[in-house]
Amino acid sequence: MMREIKIGTRGSKLAIIQAEWVLTKLKEAAPGLKISLNKITTQGDQDSSTPLDKFAQEGIFVKELEKALLDGKIDLAVHSLKDLPTDIPHGLALGAVSSRLDSRDALISTAGQLDNLRPRAKIGTGSTRRAIQLLACRPDLETGVLRGNIDTRLRKAADGTFDGIIMAAAALIRLGWADKITQYLPIGYFLPAVGQGALGIEIRSDDYEIADLVSPVNHKATWQSIIAERTFLRALGGGCQTPIAALGTALSNNTLRLEGMVAGTNSKRILRSREEGDARNPGQIGVRLAQKMMKMGASEYISEAKPQ
């Protein structure tokens, strides 16, 4: 490959670290490759105060990157996979998925663990999904909107703005700040966002040269889990404002277990279920779990999140 490859990324510290990880992996797979990073500002970066579930459209952290891809200004884009909507624009495709670092949510608090928080303690989070699961576990707590870069979020946990904050453990681990985590929240109570902990590499669907280039980065087990999770989310028809969570886990004998959660934004009620199946057909597992949860009443919960 003679041309210089341009990787598109957001400009945050975390996004740069993630893109540099991909860059390193691509150079390992293709020594001598000419490759560079292009920093692109997204709508989500420009507006760091509006709660994420209040944005009218999905993909606020990816749309500008996708436009640069379609316009040929970059050759691939690196995303936190949980930020990538399930409906990818025509002409683009998910080319590879990194191995999942850690899917769990994490608590950062001077009080230590969740059980040590005083009644009415205020916890900051930018996610309705996290807030609802937290209050289901500790209904005596309060939640507040948390936005901004990771340094800002951590500062708000340290200076008393919040008694604690919840964020993705993988983000802190990638930044080398795992020591700031006071508790990894259990999956049994805090099911993560679809794709959480993994990176997604988006490419042009007709760029077979780039598809071949990124293929060594793709982690098969994570890819299968991600396909099941994203198919589940798409089949439910939930958008960015809907508290939906899912986690696929590889088991023995080519079996994949998919756990799903849907919550009501007003009722705060939570539905959870799981499905297992052949990991070689992960999309089917996602569809079956979605159908199962729709029969349990998930559509009613999803309608709570839609604008009236």
Considering the entire predicted model, what is its pTM?
A: 0.92
In this structure, which CATH number among 3.10.180.10, 3.30.160.40, 3.40.1360.10, 3.30.565.10 belongs to the domain 229-305? 3.30.160.40
> Which sequence spans correspond to the domains of the chain?
5-98+198-218, 105-184, 229-305
Environment class of 130 (CB within 10 Å of its CB; exposed 0-12, middle 13-18, buried 19+): buried
Predicted local confidence at residue 265, as pLDDT: 87
Tokens of 121: 């303690």
Which SS3 state, helix, strand or coil, does residue 292 take? helix
DSSP character for 87? S
Burial class (CB in 10 A: 0-12, 13-18, 19+), 308: exposed
Within this chain, domains 105-184 and 229-305 share the same CATH topology: no
HSE of 18 in the Cβ direction (CA atoms, 13 Å)? Answer: 28
Which residues, given as ranges, of the chain have pLDDT below 70? 1-2, 44-59, 238-241, 306-308
CA-based diameter of the chain, in Å? 61
pLDDT given at position 305: 72
- Token digits for 293? 């949860």
Average pLDDT across the chain, whole number: 92
pLDDT at 56: 43
Residue of 109, 84, 82, 290 whose CA lies nearest to 192: 82
Does the domain made of 105-184 have the CATH classification 3.40.50.2000?
no
Q: Locate tokens 């800002």: which residue?
A: 152
Instruction: Give Cα 84 distance to the centre of its chain.
Output: 7
Beta bridge partners of 204: 92
Superfamily for the 5-98+198-218 domain: Periplasmic binding protein-like II (3.40.190.10)
Catalytic residue IDs: 83
SS3 for 230-266, per residue?
HHHHHHHCCCCCCCEEEEEEECCCCEEEEEEEEECCC
SS3 sequence of 150-175: HHHHHHHHHCCCCCEEEEEHHHHHHC
